[in-house]
A and B are shown apart, each in its own frame.
Chain A
Amino acid sequence: MTAYLANLATLVAIFGILAATLNFVVGFAGIFSVAHAVFFGLGAYAGAQVALQLFPDALLACLVAAIVAGGLSLCLALPALRVRGEYFVAASLGLQMMATTLFSEAKAFTGGIGGLVAIPRPTVAGVEVGVLPLALAALALILFLTARLQRGAFGRTLQSIRDAESAAEALGKNVAAAKTLAVAFACAGAGIGGALFALHLSFVNVESFTMDQSVLVMAMVIIGGTGTLWGPLIGAILLLSLPSGLAFLPFIPATEVGAVQQIVYGLAMTLLMIFRPAGLVGDLSKGRATA
């Protein structure tokens, strides 16, 4: 039971990182990316390769993952600078679909469909450590940074871009630089989440980085509340405990748990959008949350 809870806590922390970083671009910068799992995947593969080829130092793996994911985030920043709204969602979907194919075909880097196996246990400065404390530390760091950025000049610039891009530009804000930086920060964060994920499971394959995963993370942000600090984390906790919660219900056959889970979160997304578009947390602290 402790092992089970520790596993769940680690996953919550990792997905909390993903949701918090996605929230940063969606909620603050108004860049609606449906390709977050791509950067999660890039980080996971990069981190796994570091652990397999060099040595399993968790900090090094996270650093490399952040650099790889953050660097390749230009693929996402480029369309974000060109188009907005529906067009950008379409571009990010396109990126996600191409990346899924690449992940399953670039066997040298990703191990193909079979994935990368036997990733060694992580160490920090030569001492073996669990992933849970690392993930919690990373999550705390990212939430702290998000809160700081949100209140600082950078966050204000992003929010002004979200609400009125032309006005922000007219006031002399460098829109292109701000968007690129925001996307790079979020993707680097997702990369760190990916590296921790790879070290935690000691196995990764393309299944974890498909569009379904991007949508799951998106659902966490939406259900929790976009543009809030704690909403995405709450969304992550809710959606990750859902499958285990459903598993305890006797009348659902085990083979259908996955489908029922998807139906529940699909329904939650739709109903929230109709009745409470601000999400769970956004609704509790009206007005303040998105300010």
Chain B
Amino acid sequence: MLFLQLLLQGIQTGALYALTAAGFALIFGATRIFHFAHGISFTLAGYAFLFAWNAGWPWWAGSLAGVLAATLFGLAMERVVYRPIQRHEGSFFTVFVAAFGVAVVVQNLVGMLAGRGFASVDTPLSRATEVMPEIFLAPIFWIAIGVAVVLFVALSAFLTRTHAGVALRALAQNPDLLRAYGLSSNRLSMLAFALGSAMAAPAAVLTAMTTGLNEAIGHHVMLISMAATIVGGVGSLRGAALAGLMLGVAESVALQFVDTQWAEAVSFLVLFAFIIFRPSGFFGVVQTR
């Protein structure tokens, strides 16, 4: 029974990982920018929600504030950091270090302003009840899965059915050709950042309601998103989401065999094995840059 409980717990965590990972994969796939500050969108969204909640705002207004914070941060990164760097030099490492610097700065600022340590909001949604003998589930389990499925279907529909979505996928495949067709790659890249960053917000809000946030959580989220994107295969949103779900389940189920402190190491063991044995991931094309 413990196994089933851990599996369900893992699916809940995994659904949230899948959302954040899909956001990261969308940005990386479309713009080829290794957005290492993606976790910060998550942190900012979570804390925006937390402050709004504590100020007595209704949940939807708080969530909106979270989405806004994440999106604005993503856009600001694109405009202020990534674009100037890509203008004079496109080296991936320059981009990575700059993003890392921003992540370090924001993480410490959040720690100074919002206090260090875990903070969470208490809602009736996160109270677990016994649904089956020895199996405890909170309503938030269903909400997490529902939100993940709805957003993912919406994103897929956007990418395949709308003009802007198709253009985004074209940007991923051939930016030069896209420009030749008279579309602005700058504007599309901003769209990718806005959408991808917004994807982190629902996960952040739900995390604030369950396990809670701390100032360093963005870091963890970032590493998981990155791992999921690579394990799933770069360029494949479906792969990233599935891998995110899988990493969440693996982390949780591993608890039956090892102690909690190994949970994160399990994710990275999976990542490491994939990079060595199958760098293209589940669904990716073979590409070892």
Contacts and interface: CB of A to CB of B under 8 A. Distances in A.
A262 B227 contact: no
A179 B85 CA distance: 28
B104 A87 contact: no
B217 interface: no
A93 B279 contact: no
B102 interface: yes
B112 interface: yes
Nearest to B215: A259
B104 A94 contact: no
A126 B262 CA distance: 42
Interface in B223-262: 223, 226-227, 230, 261-262
15 contacts: A82-B275, A83-B288, A85-B92, A86-B96, A87-B275, A87-B289, A89-B93, A95-B268, A105-B262, A259-B111, A262-B108, A270-B99, A270-B102, A273-B98, A274-B98
B104 A265 contact: yes
Nearest to A113: B261
Contacts of A268: 101
Interface of A: 32, 78-79, 82-91, 93-95, 97-98, 101-102, 104-105, 215, 218, 222, 256, 259-260, 262-263, 265-271, 273-274, 277
Number of chain B interface residues as a range:
35 or more
Contacts of B101: 265-271, 273
B61 interface: no
Nearest to A260: B108
Considering residues B223, B262, B272, B288, which has the most beta carbons from chain A within 10 angstroms of its beta carbon? Answer: B272
Interface of B: 28, 34, 81, 84-85, 88-89, 91-105, 107-109, 111-112, 223, 226-227, 230, 261-262, 264-265, 268-269, 271-272, 275-276, 279, 288-289
B94 A266 contact: no
Contacts of A263: 104-105, 108-109
A157 to B, nearest CB: 20
Contact of A83 (B109, B223, B279): B279
B261 A266 contact: no
B275 A273 contact: no
B134 to A, nearest CB: 29
A87 B279 contact: yes
B264 A97 contact: yes
A273 B96 CA distance: 9
Nearest to B36: A89
A148 to B, nearest CB: 26
A82 B289 CA distance: 9
Contacts of A222: 97
B289 A266 contact: no
A91 B97 contact: no
B279 A104 contact: no
Nearest to B89: A277
Contacts of A265: 101, 104
A74 to B, nearest CB: 12
A260 B96 CA distance: 22
Contacts of A259: 108, 111-112
A94 B85 contact: no
Given A94-B227, A105-B261, A262-B107, 9 more contacts: A82-B276, A83-B289, A89-B93, A91-B271, A91-B272, A93-B268, A94-B271, A97-B264, A265-B104
Contacts of A84: 288-289
B112 A256 contact: yes
A239 to B, nearest CB: 12
B178 to A, nearest CB: 22
A98 B261 contact: no
A249 B112 CA distance: 17
Nearest to B84: A274
A265 B97 CA distance: 11
A102 B94 CA distance: 30
Contacts of B98: 269-270, 273-274
B42 to A, nearest CB: 17
B264 A90 contact: no
Nearest to B87: A274
Given A269-B98, A274-B85, A277-B89, A86 B289 contact: yes
A101 B259 CA distance: 11
A79 B288 contact: no
B104 A215 contact: yes
Considering residues A83, A88, A90, which has the most beta carbons from chain B within 10 angstroms of its beta carbon? Answer: A90
B105 A277 contact: no
